Structure 1
């Protein structure tokens, strides 16, 4: 898939309405594949790329940050939906999530990989690389996913390709859930497909 760059004087691609995110992460996650992550730069230009990989997380399963307890660090994940949840992992890499679901319930979609037009395919192939390329850090945490804040998600401009499910990456629990979505054989994916594991109970 080769997304076309936006014309220099075109209107900004419209952000999803907040109601779009007011659904469970496992519904929102696959629908974000093929959509655009857009950031307004300091000079007014738009940096954007196509979402090619996402993962869902929800409070009832052990891989979620909000599984056991609500803390100052994970409070944003508990809602309201339609806000960014950005956290630092290993003290180095930022991970970018959009909060979904409902208030007082930890639920969100991790953006795992983005394909940027006319840039190397691996430049945002993973959560840390994605955040670095877009300049997303803890200052974006709890900010609305909206044009007014300069960082938003908008609808796809073209068919996304073949969507496949996978187990999530980099976790030890919840590997029985098919909560990772990716475009088949896309060069910007962070990791290959991970097979599901049978439930242990």
Structure 2
């Protein structure tokens, strides 16, 4: 099956523009020729060195240097030294900007299997070895363009989770009709069944 390719400059934009555009895209991991894990991205968060919650806010270090790298590459880090988190580098080189993949819906699996950043990397078998790998030009872990584009009414835009600084910035997006979202905003009820863009 031929996959939809991203426009050339898709990742060369600010993280707050890329993050909602990744909703509905496919995250694909090939373990071997017959074993593939594939899911629909249903929740993302944007980060940028302009705000304090970003890993690159203060300076470039050995652990965050991939976030300052080429747009369209993966930035993998360990949260609290336990869970790996999957991010996509965006905007421009030497500028920390990235999108965290917070939740993914995997067809024919428990709908909560990848409903959080640590659960995403666990379900897909993602570790630090994918750090700095290009998003589209590899055969192991990649992201494929979405088949259909969600309308504005299908997305919820709200504040980010699990941060102590810049908490009021609304740089988290999720697919309203998904039961795989990590955390819903107050008053947004969980839908009775998953209605994914696929």
Aligned to 1:192: 184
Where 1:21 maps in the other structure, the secondary structure is: coil
For the 8 Å contact 1:54–1:182, the answer to whether it is kept is yes
Deviations 1:102-133 (A, max 9, x none): 01100000000000111111000000000001
Aligned to 1:170: 162
Where 2:109 maps in the other structure, the secondary structure is: coil
Aligned to 1:117: 107
Q: TM-score, normalised by structure 2?
A: 0.87
Aligned to 1:51: 41
Q: Provide closer, same or farther for how the CA distance between residues 40 and 17 of structure 1 changes in structure 2, counting only shifts above 3 A.
A: farther
Aligned length: 185
Deviating above 6 A after TM superposition, structure 1's stretches of 4 or more consecutive aligned residues are none
Aligned to 2:194: none
Where 1:20 maps in the other structure, the secondary structure is: coil
Aligned to 2:116: 126
1:173 deviates by 1.4
Match of 2:174 among 178, 182, 192: 182
Where 1:133 maps in the other structure, the secondary structure is: helix
1:15 deviates by 4.3
CA distance in 2, matches of 1:159, 1:102: 25
Q: Provide closer, same or farther for how the CA distance between residues 17 and 57 of structure 1 changes in structure 2, counting only shifts above 3 A.
A: same
What are the residue-to-residue correspondences of 1:9-88 with 2, within 5 Å?
A: 11-17=1-7, 19-88=9-78
- Which range is displaced more, 23-32 or 156-165? 156-165
Give the CA RMSD over aligned residues.
1.8
For the 8 Å contact 1:166–1:194, the answer to whether it is kept is no
